[in-house]
Amino acid sequence: MRLTVVAVGRLKQGPERQLAGRYQDRAAKAGRAIGFRTLDVVEVEESRNRDAARRMIEESVAIANVVPEGAAVVLLDERGSLVGSKGFAEQLARWRDDGRGDAVFVIGGPDGLAPSLRDRADLRLAFGAMTWPHQLVRIMLLEQLYRAMTILAGHPYHRD
């Protein structure tokens, strides 16, 4: 299974990009042995349209264009489900074991995502009720992907 994080906007050079890269590398290496072939990050340009609704639609179209047919789609959404690390790992394993070729994790822009993309989601995932900066959401998602890989690989989990 291929894993892809699609995010609106770019991480600038600096500690956030370094930390995101570190977790991406760790997750990719840990996942190879358990059936997760790749972990890529695709950055989608922020729309420059002055109208918020148009920005949302333009960004959602750009995201939809990089989502492979049949992929499991996970939206990072403040109104989404609160899922523990083990539950998250188990969901990834189910998709892998069911033969899903791809899982795509979407981090939208500040205006949100178009209803057509939200309706396509297999899972809406929240990292709590607080509002988080997009660069931190990316880091937290990559860390949770790494944690899921280690849980599925049978590494001891500190909550057991």
Phi and psi torsions of 76, nearest 5°: -80, 115
Which helix (DSSP H) or strand (DSSP E) does residue 42 occupy? strand 38-44
21-36 pLDDT, tens digit each: 999 999 999 999 999 9
CATH class for the region spanning 2-152: alpha beta
- How confident is the model at residue 142, as a pLDDT? 98
Domain regions of the chain by residue span: 2-152
- How confident is the model at residue 159, as a pLDDT? 63
101-149 pLDDT, tens digit each: 999 999 999 888 999 999 999 999 999 988 888 889 999 999 999 999 9
58-78 pLDDT, tens digit each: 999 999 999 999 999 999 988
- How confident is the model at residue 132, as a pLDDT? 87
36-58 pLDDT, tens digit each: 999 999 999 999 999 999 999 99
Q: Cα(41)–Cα(105) distance, rounded to whole angstroms?
A: 9
Percent of the chain predicted with pLDDT > 90? 82
Q: What's the full length of the chain, in residues?
A: 160
